[in-house]
Chain A
């Protein structure tokens, strides 16, 4: 079937309205106005509005924002809670924890000058700034295909069709073909494991000289707490229980504004026990007395989850390809030693934008590689920062929380990240699972509905919604693998690593793998962790997915 598609053309197209994409869009318009020239910029976003799919801790380092909008305070950027205190705990068990003396905390974990923010709200604000500068932003439209011409040049994206039924057939009276958005340069800013970014990495072999990307899943809840227990600006980080060296990760608890607390657990997707459930580890974590002291008497108001790229420097792929570039977490710019990726994402977007603007000013018709972006990236503080923290993640994976942490303390506090060796972690996260037969089953405590909750009531407060009658957006390359291989080998871990209850194995005698795609919170963990790499996440109909508020 051939479909007539409308075509819109721009100078620069940005895929994804997160911190990287919006910073890039703003920078392009700023450069154009400084030069007294026109650059047309379009941003497409699959969420129903800007911020709907944004989830981050977040302790925000304002360095990139200071560069982008030096007057962000006057412009009303929602950075309202300066960090007042950093507490770091080593959780020893479900009851015990030791507070790390300040002197032993790696420097990168200090947060003076940073702010506790909702990244979703910062993106909403960045969106307003971008629109004020003349950027066209279209939320509710998902980029579904990359337009690549006969010369292997990226020319833009095609928006997903709307009004397609579960059977893949157009629905009478509703079928709306997605348009083609073409641009001289296309910047991909989909966040961690973007479905188009993944294809670009493969098509242009961009990661051939890099270590494999490493990932984690971050789970987060927002709580309204008793004002008497609220200490705005308090940052609490933790390592250890409920995780361990074979299944590492870390926790956070931030006292934000309006008597709210952001609490979360980050579980490295290099975990080895197939019985591990990141969701249940998070629920259990909140029952620790360190959390309870703040959450007691409070009310959970929101829940969400998102995968994180944490490979950093060693995993950085080639950043450019003919006609475009990867920015933000589509590239993998998070600084794991700071557990921060928002300022680095913004900076990468700004650098790519500057390179694209310069090229356009020089009369470029696009389609080439933005090598200036690669050069300015290497000369920037962003690169320096990633270089200095290159050992942080591998040290913990190689030596465990305690000795890895000691290495990081030395490397960061004594060598400023310039210890003369580079640790590598070349084992892809999807290959780390032990066989179920060799692993210890984990019995998780039942949800107490006070501090811990079940998956379905959690997904409910993520305000997730998908049009019901549409094709399943989680594609199995080989539909037989979940039951024939993953179930006997790993007790099908998808049932547990998915934080939204999308995957179920049902039936007593005859087992069946069921995909509840409408629950999907777009975290991408399944695409990353499936041991057979058999699940491909693609964008569902535009505006589907979570509707996060203040995340």
Chain B
């Protein structure tokens, strides 16, 4: 049983995002990057399934420039057996990413595709769903529990009304939500070993994928500044202040 896990390199969640003065995007120079936290959860889940003996091989995949190799090394330190780097510079849009990941999934003949429900940089929440559509395979999104049996995977999802449990035939696509697990601390010896694990670099061309620019970023702007609060002394003052603003 082979699992493919895709991991994206994003601006670290601790970094306070700064919008470029010209509104063309956010500042990424000199900024810390790390693995998308939702993908970390997918990675952790794959490793746990392997530790339980449900999976025999974990392949990590990413798309992006040379620096993304760091993210793959992190995945290898988590416990991926090998890594595939679709090495392409520049912005990659969700549909292009989905086409490339679908091609890798097919090429590797994997049974389960685990990935984060969304990446914290563009919050697109599309890639997993589009991979499922492109491959015409079953999908379960926002997984909070994953159980793997011989030919099927049972996924619990947190929905508004409670919990929904889906049973999917393999091969299948599962996107992971925040409460699925809490990723482990990476161990220094594992990081050392990860440097020696196999990492293969391929291109869109070798996958038969052409990068499409279906979306154009019109403008990126910072959220409006919160205006200063006003201290009120009495309840009456509060009520009249709210009334003045037409809120009560």
Contacts and interface: CB of A to CB of B under 8 A. Distances in A.
Interface of A: 6, 8, 48-49, 51-52, 118, 120-121, 124, 136, 138, 140-141, 159, 162-163, 173-174, 176, 179, 224, 258-259, 301, 460-461, 463-465, 547, 549-550
B133 interface: no
Contacts of A174: 182, 184-185
Given A118-B30, A547-B14, A547-B32, A136 B192 contact: yes
Contact of A547 (B15, B18, B21): B15
Given A120-B30, A549-B32, A6 B188 contact: yes
Contact of A549 (B21, B31, B34): B31
A224 B21 contact: yes
Given A49-B32, A141-B188, 12 more contacts: A52-B32, A124-B30, A138-B191, A163-B185, A174-B185, A258-B29, A301-B18, A461-B16, A463-B16, A464-B14, A547-B32, A549-B32
Nearest to A465: B14
A549 B187 CA distance: 26
Contact of A259 (B21, B184, B189): B21
Contacts of A138: 188, 191
A547 B12 contact: yes
Contacts of B32: 48-49, 52, 463, 547, 549
6 contacts: A8-B189, A48-B32, A176-B184, A179-B187, A301-B27, A464-B14
B14 A48 contact: yes
Interface string B10-45: 001011101001000001011110100000000000
Given A118-B30, A174-B184, A176-B184, A460 B189 contact: no
By secondary structure, the B interface counts as loop
B25 to A, nearest CB: 14
A259 B29 CA distance: 14
B213 to A, nearest CB: 27
Contacts of A465: 14
Contact of A463 (B15, B186, B189, B192): B15
Given A138-B191, A259-B21, A465-B14, A550 B29 contact: yes
Contacts of A49: 32
Interface string B164-208: 000000000000000000101111110110000000000000000
B188 A8 contact: yes
Contacts of A118: 30
B189 A179 contact: yes
B30 A550 contact: yes
Contacts of B29: 258, 550
Interface residues of B, number: 21
A238 B182 CA distance: 50
Contact of A460 (B16, B182, B187, B188): B16
Contacts of A259: 21
B114 to A, nearest CB: 20
A430 to B, nearest CB: 32
By secondary structure, the A interface counts as loop
Contacts of B185: 162-163, 174, 176
B65 to A, nearest CB: 14
Residue of A124, A259, A463 ringed by the most chain B CB atoms within 10 A: A463
A259 B16 CA distance: 19
B21 A179 contact: no
Contact of B30 (A159, A162, A549): A549
Interface string B123-152: 000000000000000000000000000000
Nearest to A542: B185
A136 B192 CA distance: 8
A450 B81 CA distance: 52
Interface string B79-100: 0000000000000000000000
Residue of B14, B21, B27 ringed by the most chain A CB atoms within 10 A: B14
Nearest to A299: B21
Nearest to B31: A549
A464 B16 CA distance: 10
Contacts of B188: 6, 8, 138, 141, 159, 179
A331 to B, nearest CB: 27
B71 to A, nearest CB: 12
Contacts of B14: 48, 463-465, 547
A215 to B, nearest CB: 27
Nearest to B189: A6
Nearest to A176: B185
Contacts of A159: 188
Contacts of A8: 188-189, 192
Nearest to A161: B185
Nearest to A121: B30
B227 to A, nearest CB: 11
The 9 A-B pairs with the shortest beta carbon distances in the complex, nearest first, are A550-B30, A176-B185, A465-B14, A162-B185, A549-B31, A549-B30, A547-B14, A463-B14, A463-B15
Contacts of A549: 15, 27, 30-32
B191 to A, nearest CB: 6
B168 to A, nearest CB: 28
Nearest to A461: B16
A259 B21 CA distance: 10
Nearest to A259: B21
Contacts of B182: 174
Given A461-B16, A547-B12, A549-B31, A176 B21 contact: no
A99 B182 CA distance: 58
Contacts of B34: 48
A222 to B, nearest CB: 10
A141 B186 CA distance: 10
A169 B72 CA distance: 32
A410 B193 CA distance: 59
A547 B30 CA distance: 11
Contacts of B189: 6, 8, 179
A460 B226 CA distance: 15
A217 to B, nearest CB: 22
A460 B186 CA distance: 26
Nearest to A6: B189
Residue of B12, B16, B185 ringed by the most chain A CB atoms within 10 A: B185
Contacts of A464: 14
Nearest to A120: B30
A121 B188 CA distance: 24
A52 B12 CA distance: 12
Contacts of A121: 30
A143 B207 CA distance: 44
A48 B12 contact: yes
A29 B40 CA distance: 34
A550 B30 CA distance: 5
A124 B30 CA distance: 8
Contacts of B30: 51, 118, 120-121, 124, 549-550
Contacts of B186: 140
Contacts of B18: 301
Nearest to B17: A463
Nearest to A124: B30
Nearest to A464: B14
Contacts of B192: 8, 136
